[in-house]
Structure formats: C-alpha cells, structure tokens
Amino acid sequence: MSEQSNNIDPRLLELRDRIDEIDGDIARLISERAECALKVAEVKKATGGDALFYRPEREAQVLRKAMERNQGPLTDEEMARLFREIMSACLALEEPVKVAYLGPEGTFTQQAALKHFGNSAQCRPLAAIDEVFREVEAGAVNYGVVPVENSTEGVINHTLDNFMTSNLVICGEVELRIHQHLMISDITRADAITRIYSHAQSLAQCRKWLDSHYPNVERVAVASNAEAAKRVKGEWNAAAIAGDMAAELYGLKVLAEKIEDRPDNSTRFLIIGSQAVPASGDDKTSLMVSMRNEPGALHDLLEPFQRHKIDLTRVETRPSQSGNWTYVFFIDFVGHRDSENVAAALKEVGAGASDMKILGSYPRGVL
C-alpha cells in the first residue's frame, strides 16, 4: 500500500473496494444481458420473414418494471434512463435501429430521439417534417421522430397535416422538458447584442423574458434553434436561444439559463413507423375523424367516448383537404384499440363519421 493510501480513512478504502466489487457484478450482468439479446436475435432471424427487433410495447414494459423495482436513492426516471441506454446498446447488437428526426443536429427533436431510443440508435437529421415522413415511408429508416405539441404554443399543425395523407402509424411518444438558454460565441460582445436568433416557437416561449431584458433587440426567426446557434458563431453582435445540446455541439457560452416564460414548458414528440404496436398495459390511441357538417356532429363524435368511460387527452381540429369549411378532428385518448371498451367506442364513432382513421395505439411515454 502506498504512503498516500496510508493517509486515507480505512472506511473510505473499504467503500471503494465494495464499489469496485459491485462494478464488476454490474459489468458481468450487462454482458450476460447482451448475450441474451444476441440469442433473441438468432431466434427471431430463424423464424424467417421480416423480424421486428425493436418492440415499443416490450421496451415500455421493461422501463416501467425498472422504475417499479427501484428502491432509491436514484429517482425512478434516472433508473429508467440507465436501463434505456443498456437496452439501446443491446438492441444495437441485434439490429441497430435507424431513426430520422427533424434536424439539424442540436435540436430538441434530436434530444427527444436520443431520450426515446438511446445513444446507440443510428439517428439521421432531416430538414423538414415532410422529409421525416417520406424517409420512414420509403423504408430508409425504421422510425421517425416529429414534434406534435408544445405546452405553451400548442400543436404543430404541419405534423398533423402529414397524417392526412400518410399511411404511417404512431408507435410511441416522448415528452421533453424544454429549457431555453441565451447563448453567445467566443467572439460575441455581450454588451453589444443587437440581434437574437431562434426558432419562432422558442422566441414565443421566451417573449416576456426578452421584453424585460432585451426590449430593443431585433428578434430573428430561423428554421431551428440549431441553425440559430450556428449563425452566432460568426457574428460578434448576435446571440441565440437554444438548448443544452446546441450549446455543446457548437461550443457556445450560455449567457442566461432557463429563460422560458413558463417553468413547466414541455414539448411532446411522436414516434412514427409502419408497424402496429400491441398493447403494453398502459397505452394511448390517436384518431383522425371527419364528420358530416350537420347540427350535433361534435356531440355525436364525443358521446361514445363518454359512455364507454374513455379518457380523452386531446381534441384538435384542422381544415380538411377535401373542401372548404370542412374540418378533421384529431383525438388522443387513454387505452388501446384492441381493448373491449375502446373497440366498442371506435365502432360507434366510425359508423357516424364520414371518414375515420386510427393513427395508432402505442405505449404512453415512460421517460
């Protein structure tokens, strides 16, 4: 034992030895789990056909169990995040999952993709929501990640509009707490900022803070927060509003943290794919319905859900693409399409609707 070790409290040395022992056990068990994942892949490949390696309902169940078994001191969410990364790495051994997201790199959508699929997923940034849908439809990627609503600014209409013409289904959801930061580059003069770049929604989410701190500074809306972060790299009099990932990616200095007007500001993202998802035990279903333009149509649409005791979590309307002054309803509710009460309600809604499309049943967001 070295002279330096002689000066360390023996209790600390004992705890370090115990930690080393536990780390060895953890490493052994992770390797054992990875071996099982490889065997799962072999079994799936042996059955022939297009084997599904990523199963949203199974992953949700595993994460929920990890949270249920957790006895602290780590939070349930922290424990689930650790399991998320283990599962992501094991899945990559079976078959790396390919994911397209609304880019560029450094956006909140990328952050949502990594939160849902883990860092071992192969993620590809695309320039527009339409492109994400097309890439999944073409089979170039397994899944896509698109934003659908923000707790402050409401729905992202472009995402809803894409479902009107797409055959893709919703396979999952992820909610991301959105923290906006004001950031500058190493050449920015903090006392001479005349222009602030960000996505239009981020500017709106920070409106009160900007009115208070930078009332006379020009606010410039750009395609994404990452694009805003990229722009300030070459401008001495500009700042950007973006998230942690953009600051890290582009090497920017955070001048002010968490400047969003609402501390509970969050965005919900949808995972889109081509495969229907079996029930996980705690699910949601999304529906698109067109009703005939007649008195009581909205009541007739919603009444079956109330009668079958189904909890509606969101109802939105969008102009229909089939004619003027006709509308499409987008509805989210708790439950899976295969459950008895949901199936009964959907049968009744479908009978009274001019058109109905089930966008998907999927596990409720765990993380």
Beta bridge partners of 183: 240, 254
Who has greater pLDDT, 1 or 12?
12
Is residue 35 helix, strand or coil? helix
Q: Please write the tens of the pLDDT for every residue from 267-325.
A: 999 999 999 999 999 999 999 999 877 888 889 899 999 999 999 999 998 888 776 66
Q: How far apart are CA 329 and CA 342, in angstroms?
A: 17
Give, as one character, the DSSP assignment of residue 255.
Answer: E
Nearest Cα to Cα of residue 189 among 229, 259, 238: 238
pLDDT above 90 covers a percentage of the chain that reads 79
Question: Which of the two residues, 75 and 326, has the higher pLDDT score?
Answer: 75
**Residue among 32, 38, 82 nearest 62 (CA):** 82
| Dihedrals phi, psi of 151, to nearest 5 degrees | -65, -20
- Cα Rg of the chain (Å, integer): 24
Residue-wise pLDDT for 195-223, tens only, equals 999 999 899 999 999 999 999 999 999 98
Q: What confidence tens digit (pLDDT) does each residue in 143-192 have?
A: 999 999 988 888 888 999 999 999 999 999 999 999 999 999 999 999 99
What is the pTM assigned to this prediction? Answer: 0.90
Q: Under a CB-based contact definition with an 8 Å cutoff, are residues 147 and 267 in contact? A: yes
Name all domains of the chain by residue range, CATH numbers in brackets. Answer: 3-94 (1.20.59.10), 181-264 (3.40.190.10), 276-367 (3.30.70.260)
- The per-residue pLDDT for range 18-69, each reduced to its tens digit, is 999 999 999 999 999 999 999 988 998 888 767 788 999 999 999 999 999 9
Q: How confident is the model at residue 84 (pLDDT cuts 50, 70, 90)?
A: very high
In 133-168, DSSP assigns E strands to: 143-150, 154-155
Residues 6+ apart with CB under 8 A from 263: none
Answer whether residue 103 shows pLDDT above 90.
no
C-alpha dist (Å) from residue 291 to 113, 155, 161, 204: 34, 21, 17, 33
